[in-house]
A and B are shown apart, each in its own frame.
Chain A
Amino acid sequence: MTKSRRALTVAAAAVTIVVLLSSILSAASGVDYPNPKTDANDISFYRPPARDRSYPATPSRVRNVILLIGDGMGLTQVTLARVKAMGSEGKLNMQLLPVHGLIRTHSADKLVTDSAAAGTALACGIKTKNGMIGMAPDETPHCSILEAAKDKGMATGLVATSTISHATPASFGSHVKSRKMEPQIAEQLIGNRINVLFAGGRKYFLPQSNADSGRKDDRNLIIEAEEAGYTVIETANQLRWVHGPRVLGLFQLDGLTTFAPEPMLAEMTKKAIALLDETATDSRKYGRGFFLMVEGSQIDWACHANDTATCVRQTLLFDEAVRAAVDFALADGRTLVVVTADHETGGLTIPDGDLKGGQVKVHWSTKGHSAAPVPVYAIGPRSELFGGVYDNTEVPQRIAAALGIKAFPQARK
């Protein structure tokens, strides 16, 4: 054997060992979702569905509810991601759910909503003014579907890629006059004892004495959370191993980057489901199942920037989270999964494209939000409630009906 061939053989053996070792390490640490490091054009993480037929309907009683919200995700964002990932004949996971609907999104005072009013509609079942969180236009706080589920004895969770105190997650666990009040929202989320909170936004939990703080007082919500029984984590590795009935995972000071070393949205979703299911099974207090809201927060951000590649990537990251939820629901048989959006961002259309090559021409008609209706997809027991064309306020009302919660919507006592 020549020197160069021997060197090649040694190099090939070394590569094989490295690949084997990394696979073993990856399996041992539970890394199902390898997150790319920086490239917005890299969508290699996305695994197209192995099927092209809809998932089967699963008739039974509803024990758990998983509501997934793509912020800014209109029908065209879904189409664009689908064509880019799989070509014109493909379907995303969310499109394989058997029940489809459309919702209108206007707020109490404007045809074009913002995420606060739309989040409040999807959480509390009421219309409010743009900017307001969890309360009616007259500032009466209203119970969210998460709070109603908690009152019923269900474990609860919120997962997002923004700060945990951003408009959409805030609407499910807090009540404030303005979405800008993120320090107060953070206080209320902890005060509400939501079992699982995974997102960014650690700065709103740190006292002003800390250089990274986003607060204007001395409250240390990290310590307050620990005193309330939360396990507080900051890294993807901690996420893989953490257990307990209350977990606060804040993986960035601000919103997430959505790149490694942060956990992917799908990984946070899968872990949140596992923790909530464990808590609902083991705990007498939370023994009636769980409610989880998951937000793909940054589809909206990409669309505000009219950034097509990032819009595709964020939509596919969200669809991977949908897959994690559906995988659990199919195995469990008692879980209702509802996928929707709060509004459309960017006024995105596809005026032209290539049928076979996956090339599309896109047109962004605005950098703001639009009044376009947004899709609803559902699977699981009582998912038939989510078909048709209706108002965004009816989404939590229909979830309440599926859970047997009668007094909804209602003012918060």
Chain B
Amino acid sequence: MTDRYVIRIDATESPAVRVGDSVRKGQNLCAGTKTGISHVSPIAGVVEEVRFDPAQHEFVISVSPEKA
């Protein structure tokens, strides 16, 4: 089982979630209005990390699965 899902979004966008947020499967992680690409959470879980990666000019969002 995957411990953590990592989603990368272009940093032109702003993430719509913060560390500690609970997210539903399919919930938008960014609005997608600036790049035309929306990103959704692949699982229900908790946002563990929101980090800017300057080399790729992307935000890295990590989501851990909801504990049963």
Contacts and interface: CB of A to CB of B under 8 A. Distances in A.
Interface of A: 109-115, 130-131, 162-163, 166-167, 179-180, 254-255, 298, 301, 304-305, 366-369
A378 to B, nearest CB: 27
B38 interface: no
Contacts, number: 51
Contact of A368 (B14, B55, B56): B14
Instruction: Determine the main DSSP class of B at the interface with A.
Output: loop
A112 B54 contact: no
Interface stretch (B5-13, B21-29, B39-47): B5-13
Contacts of A112: 12, 33-34
B54 A367 contact: no
A69 B4 CA distance: 38
Contact of B59 (A113, A114, A367): A367
Nearest to A307: B52
Given A112-B12, A366-B14, A367-B11, 13 more contacts: A110-B34, A110-B35, A111-B34, A114-B12, A114-B57, A130-B12, A130-B34, A163-B55, A254-B55, A304-B11, A304-B59, A368-B12, A369-B12
Interface residues of B, number: 16
Contact of A167 (B35, B57, B59): B57
B21 to A, nearest CB: 14
A254 B55 CA distance: 7
19 contacts: A109-B36, A112-B12, A112-B33, A114-B10, A114-B12, A130-B34, A162-B54, A163-B55, A180-B56, A255-B54, A298-B54, A304-B11, A304-B54, A366-B14, A367-B11, A367-B59, A368-B14, A369-B11, A369-B12
B12 A179 contact: no
Given A180-B56, A254-B55, A301-B54, A367 B14 contact: yes
A163 to B, nearest CB: 7
A115 B34 contact: no
Given A367-B15, A369-B12, A115 B57 contact: yes
A111 B34 CA distance: 7
Interface in B53-68: 54-57, 59
B11 A368 contact: yes
Nearest to A109: B36
Contacts of B52: 301, 304-305, 367
A304 B54 CA distance: 9
Contacts of A167: 57
Contacts of B10: 114, 130-131
B6 to A, nearest CB: 17
Contacts of B11: 304, 367-369
Contacts of B54: 162, 255, 298, 301, 304
A180 B11 CA distance: 13
Contacts of B59: 304, 367
Contacts of B35: 110, 114, 130
A179 B13 contact: no
A112 B11 CA distance: 11
Give the one of A109, A111, A254, A369 with max B CB within 10 A. A369
B39 to A, nearest CB: 13
A305 B14 CA distance: 11
B32 to A, nearest CB: 11
